[in-house]
Amino acid sequence: MKIKWFGHSAFLLTSERGTRILIDPYYRFIRYRMPSVEPDIVAVTHNHFDHNKIQAATGDYLLVNEPKEYIREDVRIRGFKTFHDKVNGEKRGPNILYRFQMDDLTICHCGDLGHLLSEEQVNEIGKVDVLIIPVGGTVTINALEATQVMRQLKSTITIPMHYRTKSLSVVG
């Protein structure tokens, strides 16, 4: 499996059989620019402009944007309802954490997770090989909370996302 990061929370997962999953596409975000991608699946964790620009995808694809189960080709996907804040979505709304099962691996993309997981959520998600998690704080969990979620899910590999880079710095 290949994992490619486009910046912010946008990733492209490609299975050994060639199934391509685009997660949280943006069109333009500060100084990030999404390339044109022709995926088999587009997954959107929530409806904020920097996560839901499906226009960045071309071709015929399966849109994954609800907390339910999806199957396509060699990929199983399950969405789990979470929140973008610590007050059940009252400030920033809902978020979907996705578990992708492909190539005998479980990849978990947390979107804009804003809280620690409940014991029930941890049990439902299960074993995680690769955890893709926000660490920026402010509108998501911060690095310390991400470490706690990483321990909750016992991930083998953790990839941080949704943090400030040169392309996201305030222009001044």
pLDDT classification of 80: cutoffs 50, 70, 90:
very high
Residue 168 backbone dihedrals phi, psi, to 5 degrees: -105, 0
What integer pLDDT is reported at residue 89 of this predicted model?
73
**What mean pLDDT is reported for the chain?**
87
SS3 category, 167: helix
pLDDT classification of 14: cutoffs 50, 70, 90:
very high
User: Residue 51: is its pLDDT beyond 80?
Assistant: no
The answer to whether the CB of 17 falls within 8 A of the CB of 45 is no
What mean pLDDT do residues 33-51 have? 82
User: Residue 41: is its pLDDT beyond 50?
Assistant: yes
Bridge partners, 71 (sequence order):
76
pLDDT classification of 172: cutoffs 50, 70, 90:
very low
Task: Give the global pTM.
Answer: 0.89
The answer to whether the CB of 112 falls within 8 A of the CB of 147 is no
Contacts of residues 140-148 at CB distance under 8 Å and 24 or more positions apart, as own/partner, are 140/84, 140/112, 140/113, 140/114, 141/113, 141/114, 141/115, 141/116, 145/115, 145/116, 148/116
User: Residue 19: is its pLDDT beyond 80?
Assistant: yes
Interval 96-118: pLDDT, tens: 999 999 999 999 999 989 999 99
What mean pLDDT do residues 74-88 have? 90
Query: For 84, how many CA atoms within 13 A lie in the half-sphere containing its CB?
Result: 16
User: Residue 24: is its pLDDT beyond 70?
Assistant: yes
Q: Which residues of 15-46 are buried (b: 16+ CB within 10 A; e: fewer)?
A: beeebbbbbbbbeebeebebeebebbbbbbbb
